[in-house]
Structure formats: C-alpha cells, structure tokens
A and B are shown apart, each in its own frame.
Chain A
Amino acid sequence: KQEVTQIPAALSVPEGENLVLNCSFTDSAIYNLQWFRQDPGKGLTSLLLIQSSQREQTSGRLNASLDKSSGRSTLYIAASQPGDSATYLCAGAGAGSYQLTFGKGTKLSVIP
C-alpha cells in the first residue's frame, strides 16, 4: 500500500527566498506523482504532474522532480512571494491502485 510523507509540516520563509518542499513515498512502482496547492478552506489546484517515465516538470517558478529509486519527489519554488503562501500536497498512484494517496501537506508561509 502506497504511503506518502511530507516533511516539514510547516515552513516559514522570507519573501524572495528559493525553497524546496519534500515528498517521500514507499512504493517505488509509482505511476505518477502530482503536486497540488490548497488555500485555506478551498479545493486543490493542480500544479504539476510527473509521470513515471519523466524525471521532472517545470511551470513558471515551479520545478518538480521525481526520483523513483529513492522514493522521493521535490517541489522547488524560486523567488518565493507572499501569494505562494498555502498548503502544498503531493499525491501518488502506486502499482496496486488507481487512487491517489496524499501526504498530509506542508503549510508554507512567505513573509513579506
């Protein structure tokens, strides 16, 4: 059964700093890994999807990488802004199931 862990649970950084959010998973036979953003009380916004044959994806200031052998994915945010403040969740679908298994998220605060 796929398990997904995100550390740290919360992170506070000053505006302009580059940062990395971490996601680890137990099933290396992962089929895809998706990063989401969630604002308080809102739904999830898909940021990046990395399929198992890919190593990374980029969108604007965001870059996500996937290393199946080590069971890790990272989300890199360049030049952070206060508007980036949100909870970031990663989710993966493993070999045994079609469903997405989510981490508990990292709550990011970018201080002006």
Chain B
Amino acid sequence: KAGVTQTPRYLIKTRGQQVTLSCSPISGHRSVSWYQQTPGQGLQFLFEYFSETQRNKGNFPGRFSGRQFSNSRSEMNVSTLELGDSALYLCASSLTSGRYNEQFFGPGTRLTVL
C-alpha cells in the first residue's frame, strides 16, 4: 500500500507570495493533519481535516488555510509569505479522526522563503 505523498518536495518563494502544498493520504484514510516543523519550535499542529471538514485548528494566523477534497486529498495554502514561514511542512493521515488513531507521515515539503 502506498504511503502518504506530498508535493512538491521543495519550494522556494519570496516574501509576500502565496503557496499551495498538496498531500495525498494512504488509501482508505479519511483524516489528514498538517504540521509545521522548525528548528526552534519543533513540530506544531496546524489543522486537521476529516470528511472535507476542518475538525481541529492549531494556533496559527489566518494566513494558513487548508481544504480537503472528496477523495481525502488535502491542500494547504499560505498567503502573504513571511521569512518565518520557512519550515518543513508535514502531513499525516489516519483512518479516522480522533485521539486513538495512529498517524502516518509523509516526507514533507521543504519551504524556503527569501
């Protein structure tokens, strides 16, 4: 069974631009969560989508948004990029939403903002 895939793997943008990242979960998984990883803050939760609905949201500004499609694929958008948005963005999929579900991570998208 194929794992979680993320595209693109690397991105370079300039301040003020916007970016869209894509995540395809493991087949049959319906929940997708997004995380930001930086050297200083570690891994921080952005949001979770289940059945095309945002279930949970972390403490990030409104510039960070996402959506989920009917096939469970998810996209994350960051508008008006700032230097501090440079990070590894990871998505994780699980069978369903909820605390008991094991999460499986993709390889990440490395975003560099210049």
Contact = CB atoms under 8 A, between A and B. Distances in A.
Interface of A: 31-32, 34, 36, 41-46, 49, 51, 89, 91, 93-94, 97-105
Given A99-B58, A105-B42, A46 B103 contact: yes
Contacts of B56: 97-99
Interface in B84-114: 88, 90, 92, 97-100, 102-108, 110
Contact of B105 (A36, A41, A97, A105): A36
B108 A42 contact: yes
Given A43-B107, A46-B104, A97-B56, A32 B45 contact: no
Contacts of A41: 88, 110
17 contacts: A31-B100, A32-B102, A34-B102, A34-B103, A41-B88, A42-B107, A42-B108, A43-B105, A43-B108, A94-B99, A99-B33, A99-B58, A100-B33, A100-B45, A102-B35, A102-B44, A104-B42
B105 A45 contact: yes
A46 B105 contact: yes
Interface of B: 4, 6, 33, 35, 42-45, 48, 55-56, 58, 88, 90, 92, 97-100, 102-108, 110
Contacts of A99: 33, 45, 48, 56, 58
B36 to A, nearest CB: 11
A89 B43 CA distance: 10
